[in-house]
A and B are shown apart, each in its own frame.
Chain A
């Protein structure tokens, strides 16, 4: 079966929405996956690079994530408007697994994402990045460090507690508070 069928002009249009592009990917449109790559490769790569600090490994993660999208696009349809967030978090999880040398199978699935931001839109993505970074700098030091260690360094709440000397429950609460603050900051 030729997966290049169904190559509509909109697949080459940078403003085509994710759901439409995903439907084209499902029908085997190579241009559609390329358009999604152009849209989200920067965040997928940046997250992987932040976690791994290795451009070659980060590009491997980038390749894995988009090949997963190409091979099983149906699993991503539930993400729809939040495909960018899904891919970013998937990149983080894959990178953490590499960091921890985990080799367990990563079940392919569509994690529901609730975010007020339409990540299809470049301006919205930029706004999200700007607000998130701004908020991160305003967070209390212990929240910022905990979030950084948890999300980008892949340290579990238990490991963070060992490092900081805080009780595990305190670390969990700190992470939760930091994410709630982030949620409020990115509200339109």
Chain B
């Protein structure tokens, strides 16, 4: 290696032996050097064990860097594609001696194979080129057809999946329609449970000192013909019930008794309502439909 090249490469001089700069070796491995610089470095590395080892380490570092990728599997089709292509190229193998590799441009290493091709005469060379051109054309056509086939398979796969889905949907819909249209089927309408009938409720305001009384009742059941409701005052001193008034509810079950004629000064322990014959009675007929104390 010439000294001029050494300077161009920026090779460090260590202990009298020029070596490539480690950073340049990294750039070389990354294929970032210009063609000229890469060629110079390749020449040097080819003859320098130390730099060759350093380059190997840099390549190993790049391999480690490659493994930082998020690993993702290629499609299953990729494997089949390779196997198909491999089967197509079923040709004799060129055995290349591995130990005699030479460094090429851009960080690659040329095999001696490429440098030792036999010289041919012009006619043979032209014939050879025509053969290669024909082969390249055929390969291009094959590639186009192959790509078309792959695309067609992909479309077919998508359509097949869609057809499968639609078939499944249709299979599910058929028994539903059959059930709906079955003439032997029983049909009924279900509704929410009706609310419970409101219970009769009476409210009394009574002042024993003057015997004033106001009674309001709701949700009373309608009465049979000839029947009335009768309001009773239950005296606190244990005497028998005192009839306060008779009344009829309206069609909504509402009724009221306003200031009936009652004796004054009678303390009440409670009130009650009974159902009596029309006109009322002086003694209540059990049971009381309303009672309170």
Contact = CB atoms under 8 A, between A and B. Distances in A.
B107 interface: yes
Contact of B94 (A50, A74, A89): A74
Contact of A111 (B59, B77, B86): B59
A175 B57 contact: no
A16 interface: no
A85 B82 CA distance: 20
Contacts of B19: none
Interface in A56-78: 58-59, 62-63, 66-67, 70-78
A186 B67 CA distance: 11
B114 interface: yes
A1 interface: yes
B201 interface: no
B61 A180 contact: yes
A78 B98 contact: yes
Contacts of B27: 156-157, 172, 175
Contacts of A150: 30, 32
Interface string A16-33: 000000000011101001
Contacts of B79: 34, 37-38, 41
A94 to B, nearest CB: 11
Interface in B81-137: 81-83, 85-87, 89-99, 101-111, 113-114
A9 interface: no
Nearest to A2: B90
Contacts of A93: 31, 107
A133 B108 CA distance: 26
A38 B76 CA distance: 11
Given A42-B73, A85-B66, A1 B92 contact: yes
Contacts, number: 226
A131 B65 CA distance: 10
Interface string B8-47: 0000000000000011101100111000000000000000
B236 to A, nearest CB: 91
Contacts of A46: 69-72
A13 interface: no
B273 to A, nearest CB: 87
A173 B103 CA distance: 24
Interface stretch (B48-56, B243-251, B274-282): B48-56
A71 to B, nearest CB: 7
Contacts of B102: 109
Which of A84, A96, A179, A185 gathers most chain B CB within 10 Å? Answer: A179
A183 B57 contact: yes
Given A176-B22, A183-B57, A67 B82 contact: yes
Contacts of A15: none
B94 A109 contact: no
Contact of A110 (B23, B77, B85, B109): B109
A8 to B, nearest CB: 16
Contact of B87 (A30, A116, A172, A185): A30
A3 B85 CA distance: 13
Nearest to B30: A150
B95 A26 contact: yes
B108 A111 contact: yes
18 contacts: A3-B90, A28-B93, A33-B86, A45-B74, A50-B70, A67-B85, A74-B96, A76-B98, A85-B60, A92-B66, A93-B31, A106-B106, A128-B64, A136-B68, A151-B65, A175-B30, A176-B26, A183-B60
- Nearest first, the 8 closest Cβ-Cβ pairs linking A and B are A85-B63, A74-B96, A109-B109, A115-B60, A88-B66, A77-B98, A114-B56, A179-B61
